Every structure is written in structure tokens, then in C-alpha cells.
Chains A and B, each alone.
Chain A
Amino acid sequence: MSGAGTWSIAEDDHRKITGHLEALLKESQAHAALVVDRTGQLLANAGDKLTFDPTTFASLTAADFSANDQLAKMIGEPEFASLFHQGEKESMYLADVARRVILVVLFDQRTTVGLVRLKVKQTVSDLGKLFGEMFGRPAGPDKPAKLLEGAEDEIDKLFG
């Protein structure tokens, strides 16, 4: 492999991911859920309107998970499949999905970490299957690797 490659998320994929997140929120009584890829890009979110910058949040989530992965290796674990950050009012639970993306669930006193952890397992499994299919597609819908074919002039114009 020469570089990190390209992948795409189609509108239909996005709908399915959001559907899984909404089901999770309903069952766990958590108030927001996000899916972030390992490079720190936000893929989808559901639940309450986010009161913070989701782009920054996604990049920090990926960094948090990556740093913890290395800590796991140092103590002889292949990985930490999930992380839990407890706050006074707000808490977050992060779970690895098929080593490709990270599921983040935000919750408060209306539920418990036990319930969130229990319900997250099913969502991780559902999302794992979905992302397995998505990453399995060589070039996604509409051949995204060639999305900008013929756009050279437009790119030149944009960047001078």
C-alpha cells in the first residue's frame, strides 16, 4: 500500500448507521451517540443536538482511543475494546467497532453505565457488520476514488 487510501460513505450507509444509533439511544436511555473513524473524522451522530464542536470532538476521540491502544499494548493487552470516562453529570462510553471506527455514547444520570455497556454490545455488532460491508467494497458507490476525475481545472482554480 502506498498511502492511506480512500473510502466513502453513501447516503444509504449513513441512514443505516443513524438508524442503529437511534435504536441504541432508545434502549439505553443515553442522550447522544456518535460514530467516528480511527483517523478522527465524524461519520454520523444521533440524539440531542450537540452543544460542542463535533469535528474537534471526533479528532480528540480518535486520539484518545489511539493513545489508549498503545497503553494497552504496553501492559500486554492487544487493545482496550472500550473506554469509560465518568464525569459529575455527563459521562461517555467509547467502544471499538471492528478496529475501524469508534462508537461514542454520551449519557447522564437518567441511565447507568451498566445499561449503556449492555446495549452498546448489540450496536457494536450491528455496526461491525455494516462497516465490514462498506470497507469491503473496493471503491464504494459511484467509484469514489475517481470522484474528482476531470476536476483538475476546478482544483487548480480553487488553489491558484
Chain B
Amino acid sequence: MSMINYASKEINCKLVYYGPGLGGKTTNLEHVFAKVAPDQRGKMVSLATETERTLFFDFLPVDLGTVKGFKTRFHLYTVPGQVYYNASRKLILKGVDGVVFVADSQIERMEANVEAMQNLYDNMGQYGYDLTKVPFLIQYNKRDLPNAAPIKDLQAQLNPGWPVEEAAKQKQVPDPAHAGEFLVTQVDGAWVERAPYLEACAVTGEGVFETLKAVAKLVLKTLG
């Protein structure tokens, strides 16, 4: 739930990085932490096990600049990816303003991706949030690996789209990040909308800031 504080002139928003275990959620935050100037970010907190697997969440607050005189503060959270941590994973989604699904591009992780995506829909639904209406972006991570699945296959499995019922929204919307692709289009005569996606290699930082900026922009535009 974004909170506008008129006393401190701040807009506070909560972003959650979701996805299967070992997919690179924490690595995304670590890269942001390493690259953002210390005066524009807080400490990074990781509630992790001794083997550095996320137990509860990682947390990193960052300032992304000023809009209309208000400082935009984004609280970045990751969730634990492993299936059996669902109780704590669900807690982190409370009050979320924007979601990044960090998918592991490796072919052998396809099933884990699909399971995590289903789990995201379920957990959002339990709070009464509709993932098709909340700012939502998919990051296909680990694109540098030789066993990375083609984007087309990942899109078909993880981002097949949802039906667009509203007549006013039934028009082609080009995907600004991918020439020749559409966020809203007709498939076999039916209008569908897909979540925007980006490719990344979080270990080297490629695509990390692009992802953060894209989702932050979507969130701020919901306030307009």
C-alpha cells in the first residue's frame, strides 16, 4: 500500500521480488545495494539461514528521485523461494505496490518457475489483490547461461496473458521494451494482455536497474 507522507514529503512504495528458489532475487537486491550511492539507500537486511538462503526476506530501501517535490522511496523486498517457506512468503506480499517475478531461465527450472508463478497468483488472491491489475513485471534472469530456455518458451509457460474483457482496452499496445511485440494483442481472435518482461543477468548486474526502474515507473503511474 503506497503511503504519501505530506509531513516528510515522501511517497513510500513496497516492491516485492518473487520467484523460485535460487533464481536471483537476492542477487538483484545485492546489485542495487552495491551500485546506488549510500546517501540514496539504506542498509540491506537479510534474514537468511547460515547457508545464505533467504529465510524470511531481504530488505533494501532506496530513493529513486523526486517527483512533484515528493521524494520517491521504494522498499525492496525479496521472499524466500523454497516451496516450504510459503507462510513467510505470503506475509511479505501484504500491502505490496509492485511485483517483480524473477524467473530462472534454465530449462530445468521451468517447472519451479511455473510452480512459483502459480503460488504468486494464489497468495496475491488470498489478500484480495489481482495480479493482472497490480504493477507487475517478469524478469527472465540468467540469460547468459548456455542452458537458458528461449524467451518464446518462457513467455508461453509463464506469461501466456489474461483475457481483456473491457472493450475500451481491446486495442493493440506495443511493448516499448521489445520492438514488434505487444502487451495487449489478439491471439486466435481473443484479446489478451501480458505482463511486461525484461531479460537480465543479475550476477553481472545486466537488466537489474532496468527492471527496478520499469516497475517503479509502473507503480508511480498508478498514483497519477
Given A3-B130, A14-B6, A159-B216, the answer on whether A152 and B224 have CB atoms closer than 8 Å is yes
A-B residue pairs in contact (CB < 8 Å), sample of 15: A2-B134, A4-B2, A6-B222, A8-B3, A9-B6, A15-B7, A37-B95, A41-B14, A55-B75, A59-B45, A148-B11, A148-B68, A148-B221, A154-B67, A159-B214
Q: Tell me if B190 counts as interface (CB < 8 A to partner A).
A: no
Q: Would you list the 7 A-B pairs with minimal beta carbon distance, nearest first?
A: A39-B95, A2-B133, A14-B7, A4-B1, A8-B4, A159-B213, A148-B224
Q: From residue B8, how far is it (CB to closest CB) to chain A in Å? A: 8
**Are A3 and B223 in contact (CB-based, < 8 A)?**
no
Checking A9, A43, A53 against B43 with a beta-carbon cut-off of 8 angstroms, the contacting residue is A53
- A interface with B by C-beta (< 8 Å): 1-11, 13-15, 37-41, 43-44, 53, 55-56, 59-60, 63, 66-67, 70, 140-142, 144-152, 154-156, 158-160
Q: What separation, in Å, do the CA atoms of A145 and B129 have in the docked complex?
A: 18
Given A4-B1, A6-B4, the answer on whether A148 and B61 have CB atoms closer than 8 Å is no
**Are A1 and B129 in contact (CB-based, < 8 A)?**
yes
- B interface with A by C-beta (< 8 Å): 1-8, 11-12, 14, 42-43, 45, 47, 56-57, 59, 61, 64-68, 70, 72-73, 75, 77, 87-88, 91-92, 94-97, 127-130, 133-134, 213-214, 216-217, 220-224
Q: What separation, in Å, do the CA atoms of A10 and B129 have in the docked complex?
A: 26
Given A39-B94, A40-B14, A144-B4, the answer on whether A56 and B67 have CB atoms closer than 8 Å is no
**Are B75 and A40 in contact (CB-based, < 8 A)?**
yes
Q: What separation, in Å, do the CA atoms of A36 and B95 have in the docked complex?
A: 13
Checking A1, A59, A70, A149 against B224 with a beta-carbon cut-off of 8 angstroms, the contacting residue is A149
Checking A9, A15, A38, A66 against B4 with a beta-carbon cut-off of 8 angstroms, the contacting residue is A9
Q: What separation, in Å, do the CA atoms of A14 and B107 have in the docked complex?
A: 51
Q: What separation, in Å, do the CA atoms of A151 and B222 have in the docked complex?
A: 11
Checking B11, B45, B134 against A147 with a beta-carbon cut-off of 8 angstroms, the contacting residue is B11
Q: From residue B31, how far is it (CB to closest CB) to chain A in Å? A: 17
Q: What separation, in Å, do the CA atoms of A13 and B5 have in the docked complex?
A: 10
